[in-house]
Every structure is written in structure tokens, then in C-alpha cells.
Amino acid sequence: MSLDLIRLGKLLSLAGSDNESEAIAAVRKLKDHLSSEGLSFTDLGQTLIGQGERRSDGGQRPQAREPATNTFTDETGVVWPSRRAYEKYQAAAAARREDDWRKTETERNEVIARYGSREAALARNDREQMLHDATADLLVRCEPDTNPPGRWHASLGGWDRSSFVPLSPTVMARIEQAFPLPKTVRQAKDEFDYWKQRSNELEMLMGRPEDSQLDLPAICRAQRVQALYEHELPIRSIDDLHLRLQFTVKPEWTDDTGKALPDILEAFEALIVAPP
């Protein structure tokens, strides 16, 4: 396990922002950063608890250095209260992975049956291949490389899952030009749903539910069409307006003002979408 504590601290600070969009984006980046390390929020919490157990004076760092024999440093440099604490954490993490694998067995088999084999399901599809080809010279493979080799990447033009800054305009231009961008809200939503479905397939195949397994070019494309769907594309039709309203009433997005939107949507659907 390897955690960039400075980066995590910055993300946690941003998650407390009064700006709801900024806070939500920070939580998403925090989740992506943990996922890139094969971790979850539960793992982070247990690690912090383990580190906290080393404190003996109500949260203040002890003046005296603890005997080296009481701590254990793993291969990534993380210091644990003891080897036993480290092994207990590793065992719990392995048990969670096994449990996730078992829970996703039915869906995994359905995905494999749909494609014909696990290898075919894991292989880049046409859209993923176009994005890969458009950015191939900027992609850095994961180390160690995962199976199948070359399927996932550690960075794209210096950008990775936990980056604080957006993808550079030059690299984003390649993502946008790999194949035509959606021109309507409906088209943008359809492509965004497509990437969510593809991510779900890969999550099932890898036994990592709710942990996006899209490669970096696909993640960037999904984020781009998500922005088009949610707020960037102009509303030019009743269908556009309907879709945008449906998006705004998702529970995770509602705030004090947004609480009024479900009634607005209900009236919109009753009077305009399906008039009596």
C-alpha cells in the first residue's frame, strides 16, 4: 500500500469546500486516487486508525521515539504500529477482495458470455482503441504491468487518476478528435451511459465493483461527455430540457435550492412531455 499523504490531505481539504461542485469533484478524485492504489475509503480509514494507535497522549505526538521493534515498515515505506497490525490489514483487504469477487460472479459470467470469453471482454473495444491510438505516444504503462499487458496505463501526458489539474488542452484535443463529440444533450447522455456500462463490465471482470476500471483515455472521454451532458451543451429542445432536469434531481446533486426541482420536473413531465 502506498499513500501520498500530502495529496490526500489536499483532497480532504477541498472536500470541505463550501462550493458543492468543488467538494464533489474532490471526493471523486480522492476515490480515484485510492482506487489507483487498489484501496477504498474503508482501507484509508483503517490505515488512519492504525497510525492513530501510535499516539499515546490524546492525539499529540509523543515526545519519545517509540522503540523500532514495536513498528513495522512495509515495502512501500508505510510505517505500521506492528507487523501484526500490517498482516491483519492485509488479511482483511484480501478477504474483501475475495468477497467482491464472489459477489460479482453472476454478473462477471454474464459479461463473459456476452463477449464469448474473458479475454475478449477485457480487450479494448472499437471506441477504446480509437482513443488509445490517438494518445498512444503519451501513455505510460503501469509498473508492474497488469494482465493483459498494456491494457491499463499509469499516466497520460503526465496526467493520472489522482491529478489535481485538468488534462492539458493539447491532450484533451486528441481525446475529442479521436471520434466525433456528441452534438446534443441526448447524444452526450447516451455516450456517457455507454462509458458507465463499459466501466461496469470491466469492474465485474476485475472483481472491483463500484471502482472504475476504464483506462485513462476512456476516463478522460467519459468526463468530457459528462460535462457536455450535464451543463455545457445548450438546451435546444424539449428533450434537452427534460434530460437536463432529470440530471439535476439526482439525490447526490441536490442542495437547498435543488430540493424544489423534483416538483418542477413532475410538472414539466405532466404538462409538456405527456400532456393530458
The pLDDT tens digits of the residues spanning 93-141 come to: 888 888 888 888 999 999 999 999 999 999 999 999 999 999 999 999 9
Residues 238 and 273 in one domain: yes
Question: Quick one: pLDDT at residue 247?
Answer: 83
- In angstroms, rounded to a whole number, what is the distance separating the alpha carbons of residues 29 and 12? 10
Residues 258 and 169 in one domain: no
Residues 93 and 6 in one domain: yes
**Three cell numbers, residue 17:** 469546500
66 belongs to a structural domain = no
Question: Quick one: pLDDT at residue 45?
Answer: 65
Residues 212 and 257 in one domain: no
Question: Quick one: pLDDT at residue 5?
Answer: 58
Residues 207 and 132 in one domain: yes
Residues 27 and 94 in one domain: yes
Question: Quick one: pLDDT at residue 15?
Answer: 64
Residues 146 and 243 in one domain: no
- Reading the chain (276 residues) residue by residue, the pLDDT tens digits are 445 555 666 666 666 655 555 556 666 667 666 665 556 666 666 666 555 554 444 545 444 444 445 788 887 777 888 888 888 888 888 888 888 888 889 999 999 999 999 999 999 999 999 999 999 999 999 887 777 888 999 999 999 887 778 889 999 999 999 999 999 999 999 999 999 999 999 999 988 887 889 999 999 999 999 989 988 888 888 888 888 888 887 755 444 555 667 777 887 888 788 765
Question: Quick one: pLDDT at residue 166?
Answer: 85
44 belongs to a structural domain = yes
Question: Quick one: pLDDT at residue 195?
Answer: 97
Question: Quick one: pLDDT at residue 145?
Answer: 75
Domain that holds residue 255: 234-276
75 belongs to a structural domain = yes
Residues 178 and 200 in one domain: yes
Question: Quick one: pLDDT at residue 2?
Answer: 46
159 belongs to a structural domain = yes
Residues 3 and 93 in one domain: yes
Question: Quick one: pLDDT at residue 140?
Answer: 94
Count: domains in the chain: 3
Residues 156 and 251 in one domain: no
150 belongs to a structural domain = yes
223 belongs to a structural domain = yes
145 belongs to a structural domain = yes
Query: For residues 146 and 204, is the Cβ–Cβ distance under 8 A?
Result: no
Residues 123 and 207 in one domain: yes
187 belongs to a structural domain = yes
Residues 162 and 246 in one domain: no
